[in-house]
Each structure stands twice: as structure tokens, then as C-alpha cells.
Amino acid sequence: MPRLILLAAVAIVLYILLKRAQAAPPHKRRGEYIKLALGVAVVGVVILALAGKMHWIGVALTGLLVVLRQLGPTLIRFFPLLASRMGQAAPSGQQSTVATDILSMQLDHDSGELHGEVLEGPYKGWRLADMQREQLDELMAYCQSRDPDSVQLLQGYLEQRFGSYEGAADQTANEEPTGPGGLSRKEALAVLGLDESASDDDIVAAHRKLMQKLHPDRGGNDYLAAKINQAKDFLLG
């Protein structure tokens, strides 16, 4: 009976891990499936060890594998060469980050491309690039019901990705950008893609470059432009 209870508990845990992996955002599913596979391996090793069918060295090696898997992200941060070989190196070039209650958006200074991630709602943790048009429409409806700033930010992304987007036009066409709230110095620097060592000339140059990227012919966005202007004004005092 105790063995049956143990097996039932293990099956329940593995089922929960499987459902968690299936529900994870696309870019995180691989990691969740790896965790599931490691969990299955550990359970198998424990069962074999308890039955006396596995040497203690095999148990130790399995434990080491699990530890290395958990410490992997930390090791990668300390060894950039390892990160690049594993395809996890940080992207090159400057990026500006603008966040609302629902979205976090990055603007690449070189290409002018927008990349974003959902912070709240049914698609929390998803990258916008992994979402299909229907899913993005659902996200837009969610933003419209909760946060006008997120609507404007998401519409800029959709217009850049699809060339045009009319889904939110009726609700936003006659509205002025709500304007960002108060910024901290750290947030203002993030908006301009700068660090604490930035000089006034760096701030002016970053602002000019970003405003060129936000020209209407290149996917301009009123909300982003307002954020960038406010960040410059704040930093220059």
C-alpha cells in the first residue's frame, strides 16, 4: 500500500509538471519540458536505488546533473563565451524599454523594431512575437478594457508587424496620448537606452536617434514618442 501511495503521488506531481509545461509561454516551454524530463529521471533513479538495482555513483551523477541544470543560468551569466555558444548571449546594440501595467516593450535603436512581452493578463509571460493575430486581438481587447496606455503601445507594435491595424482605431483615433506618469531616473535612462554614465550630449543624441526611428513612415507611435520626450526632459532637468 505505501508503494502505491508513493507511485500515485509521483504520478500526480508529474502530471502537474506536464500541464505547467503545456501552459507555459512558447519561449519557456523547452525549459519546462527539460525540468519534467529531469523530474522523471530523478524519480526513476530513486526507485532503482531503493530497489537496490543502481549503484550509488549513478545516483550521485543524476543529482549532479540536476544541480548543474538549476545553476545553468547563473553560470551562463558569468561565462559570456558559454552563453554565446548556447545561443543565449545578450543581444547587441542599444535598446529602449517602455513599460505599462500590461506590457513591456523594447525598441531597438539600430533597426527601429519593437519587441514586447505581456506582464499581466491571460497571456502573461508571452512574447508578442510568439503570438498569432487572433491572440493579439484578444490581448488588445484586454488592454482596451483596462489600460489606455497599453492600447497605444500595443497598437504601435501591431502596425509595425502587420503594416496596419484598425482593431483599436475607433477607440483611440480621437484620443490624445494619455501621457506617461512620473519617471524615476532609472526609468528615464531605460527609455532612452542609456546607463548612469550618460552625459547630456548622450541624452540629446539618444533622443534624436529614437525620434527618427519613431517617424510615422517607420512605424511611429505617439505614446512611445511622449515617453521619450518626457525621459529627455526629466534627465536634462
Task: Please check the confidence at residue 21 and state whether its pLDDT lies above 70.
Answer: yes
Which of 55-59, 145-149, 176-180, 222-226 is least confident? 176-180
- Measure CA 237 to chain center: 32
Helix (H) or strand (E) holding 98: strand 95-99
Residue 115: in which H helix or E strand, if any? strand 114-118
Residue 6 pLDDT exceeds 70: no
Whether the pLDDT of residue 38 is over 90: the answer is no
The pLDDT of residue 184 is 85
**So what's the pLDDT on residue 20?**
75
Cα distances (Å, whole numbers) of residue 163 to 60, 166, 216, 220, 224:
55, 10, 12, 12, 18
- Mean of pLDDT over the chain: 75
Q: What pLDDT is recorded for position 174?
A: 45
How many other C-beta atoms lie within 10 A of the C-beta of residue 97? 17
pLDDT tens per residue across span 207-230: 998 888 776 556 567 788 888 999
pLDDT(25) > 90:
no
Most confident option among 34-43, 46-55, 223-232: 223-232
Tell me what pLDDT residue 88 has.
45
pLDDT at 201: 93
Residue 35 in contact with residue 14, Cβ under 8 Å?
Answer: no
Separation between Cα atoms, residue 55 and residue 52, nearest integer Å: 8
| pLDDT in the model for residue 139 | 94
Q: What is the pLDDT of residues 120-132, one digit of tens each?
A: 998 999 999 999 9
Q: Could you tell me which residue, 32 or 227, shows the higher pLDDT? A: 227
Which residues contact residue 236 at a Cβ distance below 8 angstroms, ignoring those fewer than 6 apart?
200, 203, 204
Closest CA to 142 of 126, 162, 163, 159: 126
